[in-house]
Amino acid sequence: MALGVFGGNVLKFVKVFPAILLSCTLVIAGCIGGGDPHQFNGESPGEGKAAPFTLLDQKGEQWSLSQIEGNVTIVSFIFTRCPDICITSSLNIKFVLSELSQEERESVQLVSITVDPWHDTPEKMGIFADDRTTGWPHLTSSNAGDLNQSFPELEEIWGNYNVSLETYDAGGGEYLIQHSLPIYMLDREHNKRVVWLGSDWDPFMFKQDLVYLIHENE
């Protein structure tokens, strides 16, 4: 569904994807250097393999999940006009990556996907990434920047990752977005293994889950 415009005012975008309702952690057999099973600090995604997708990165180049097979992947969701939680989340992930060894860092791919394609062109995604020195891929639609456009490819991704979002009129022809903030960790085969919800999470516990997936099956 496109974001409507009438009389110069942005209408409410009423499509809301189901929010994640999770209550248990995932226990996976195996651990690093011991016999006890690893228990993730994050939540169970309750799903299997991540669906493939292809979008445009901040350089205007096509980027596909399939091109990074063999890496542990972090998938997050942001929008560039977000005043708080998207920035906090991105900077926390950046900190976690800085705490990894060089070898561990080379085994991890991070990707951020917009929830605001009506505004977030590749250029705007690039500014967001550069301002926060987060050089990983920031993805949007090839049709981004059009308030009258619909984005089925992104809607499919939001649905696959259980992202709930709603836009609402902020006055003066502006709109704001309220959205859930799941951060997924995919293993090297791109299975959804753990999800962290919201922005108020412990980077060190997040790192424990990430390091486990990096070294799993070694």
Separation between Cα atoms, residue 31 and residue 28, nearest integer Å: 8
Q: ∠97-103-107 over CA atoms, to 5°?
A: 70
Question: How would you write the pLDDT of the chain (218 residues) with one tens digit per residue?
Answer: 444 332 333 333 334 444 333 333 333 333 344 445 689 999 999 878 999 999 999 999 999 999 998 999 999 999 998 878 888 888 899 999 999 999 999 999 999 999 999 999 999 999 999 987 678 999 999 999 998 889 999 999 999 999 998 888 878 878 888 888 899 999 999 999 999 998 778 999 999 999 999 999 88
What is the distance between the alpha carbons of residues 166 and 21, in angstroms, rounded to a whole number? 17
- Residue 121 sits in a domain whose CATH number is 3.40.30.10
Q: Domain tally for the chain?
A: 1
Rounded Cα distance, 82 and 131, in Å: 13
Angstrom distances, CA of residue 160 to CA of 50, 182, 218 = 8, 12, 30
Q: How far is CA 188 from CA 9, 181, 193, in A?
A: 45, 22, 10
Calpha distance 66→54 (Å, rounded): 9
| 45: amino acid identity, one letter | P
Q: Coil, helix or strand for 46?
A: coil
Under 8 Å between Cβ of 89 and 199: yes
Token output for 85:
């939680």
117 residue type, one letter:
P
Domain interval for residue 185 = 5-215
Q: At what angle are helices 85-98 and 203-215 packed, to 10 degrees?
A: 50
Give me the amino acid identity at 157.
I
Res 196: pLDDT: 95
CB 48 within 8 A of CB 192: yes
* Rounded CA separation 115/155 (Å): 9
Which residue's entry shows tokens 């929830």? 115
Alpha helical stretches, state H, 1-101: 85-98
